[in-house]
Amino acid sequence: MLQSNKFVNRTPRFNILSEDDKEQIYDASLEILQNTGVKVDHEEARSIFAGAGARVEDEMVHLPPHLVNDAVEKAPKKVLIYDRNGELAMRLGGTNSYFGSGTDVPRTLDEDGEIRQTVAEDIEKWARVCDALEHIDFSSPIGLLRKEEENVQDILEARQVMANTSKPVMFCSWDERGTEDVFNMASVAVGGEEKLKAKPYIMHYIEPVTPLSHSKEVMAQTIFGAKHNLPTIYTPMPSAGAVGPMTFAGSIALGIAESLTGITLAQLVNEGAPMVTGGIYSILDMKTSGFVYGGPEFALMNGAVAEMSNFLNLPMFGTAGVTDSKLVDTQAAIEATFNIATQSLVGANLIHDIGYLASGLLYSYDQLVMSNEIIGMVKRIMEGIDTSGDNIPLDLINEVGPKGNFLNTSHTMDNFKEEHWQPSLMDRTNYDNWKKNGEKSMGDRISEKSEEILESYEADVLTEDKQEKLDEIIEEERENRDVKY
């Protein structure tokens, strides 16, 4: 595994919301939870809410503000995530930003340029590419294994990632049993359940059904996660004008109310249970009826949600490296750059979906590799400029004086590696050398790097005996688990 840079976002920032804006949105979310209420399709969850003082009427739960405020206070302000080897990999919270892939895309754009359904080998390859890229901090089962039996699709997807990268893993599952299976598989991978609880290596990504509905599966999974110290990402996906109000502030208030429902339940089950808020917020394109992934509205709304998460002092799940383009082209580069930069500038923490094309319906190795380069550039900007110590070397400037140069000074040798970001894909050669080297476009260089990783990179794979134990869990569930959707 190539080690990623751990902590970024030191100096540059920009603000979308004022402090008064944040107060108004939060107050609106509390009003939604108290007055409108949320539908909770899970008897135990309703009982937990009722026992804490919520008003429950049939499947509708009305959460009083004091209950929600108390949960926000009790939820951890930072969530530590480790790699498979027990090394600290991500410190979620504040304005630290980390980048990784998404989950459950229906189709893959493979290395041969073919668009098709995902197979298990694709997820294995994807995990290895994530393992190789220095600015990708976590990996996920990117595609849906629709050709596999439904009762093992989710756990087989998670298995393929765990086995082929030691970076942290974000996963999805069909139901509570699938969550437990993945938890048990991760326990095998790290050497025991107690080790996993002490140093969480997996993160569970679940969503309510916008607007204001929380399924029995999601509620059960939230309870399981809280009981087992499993970091849980509880994030909605409002589409302004469709399942959310057309006004951005209205959709954000609605979505935050949904996130707060999951956070409140988790804290009632186990005070201090690690939770991550945030979400995927955008608009319904009124011309195409599509969910916009690359537009300025996407960046604006998700940036505002990051600010709200910082306002609540909760870790934030963000989205970037995405595009509405169907190809890794100029549009893809523009949109990915814009949303990667925006999410970094507002201080989102766990930034997922790197590598998505076609509004989240297609994924691409080349988009992932290109975004890795963009992230490297943005990280250098986020490091800012250090004016301390000898970073303004007045004595050296005086010594070199007019018409001198700093090239052969020890100060240059001591500092150039820290100050100077070196690209792996951008071309900075002169025209003649570029022509001599084959006149390669950016697209050519991206594809070459993807191919090189796929052909020759040796990932930090899980030991064979542990892989066999994961397979035993899958085979047992193939026979015994019943999933109906």
| 432 Cβ contact list (under 8 Å, min separation 6) | none
| pLDDT at residue 3 in the model | 60
**Mean pLDDT over the full length of the chain:** 95
| pLDDT at residue 13 in the model | 72
pLDDT tens profile 97-113: 999 999 999 999 988 88
| pLDDT at residue 32 in the model | 98
| pLDDT at residue 483 in the model | 87
pLDDT tens profile 437-467: 999 999 999 999 999 999 999 999 999 999 9
Share of the chain above pLDDT 90, in %: 94
Whether 361 has a pLDDT exceeding 60, the answer reads: yes
pLDDT tens profile 383-393: 889 999 999 99
Which range, of 10-14, 230-234, 326-330, 468-472, averages the lowest pLDDT? 10-14
pLDDT band, residue 9 (cuts 50/70/90): low
pLDDT band, residue 14 (cuts 50/70/90): confident
62 forms bridges with which residues in the sheet? 55
Which of the 8 DSSP states describes residue 105?
B
Q: What structural domains and CATH numbers belong to the chain?
A: 71-383 (3.20.20.480), 389-419 (no CATH)
Q: In this structure, what token pair is assigned to residue 26?
A: 């939060």
Of 470, 472, 475, 467, residue with least CA distance to 151: 475
Share of the chain above pLDDT 70, in %: 97
Sheet holding 115-117, edge to edge: 115-117, 107-109, 362-364, 356-357
Please give the average per-residue pLDDT across 37-66, as a whole number.
Answer: 98
pLDDT tens profile 190-229: 999 999 999 999 999 999 999 999 999 999 999 999 999 9
- How many secondary structure helices (H) and strands (E) does the chain include? 17, 19
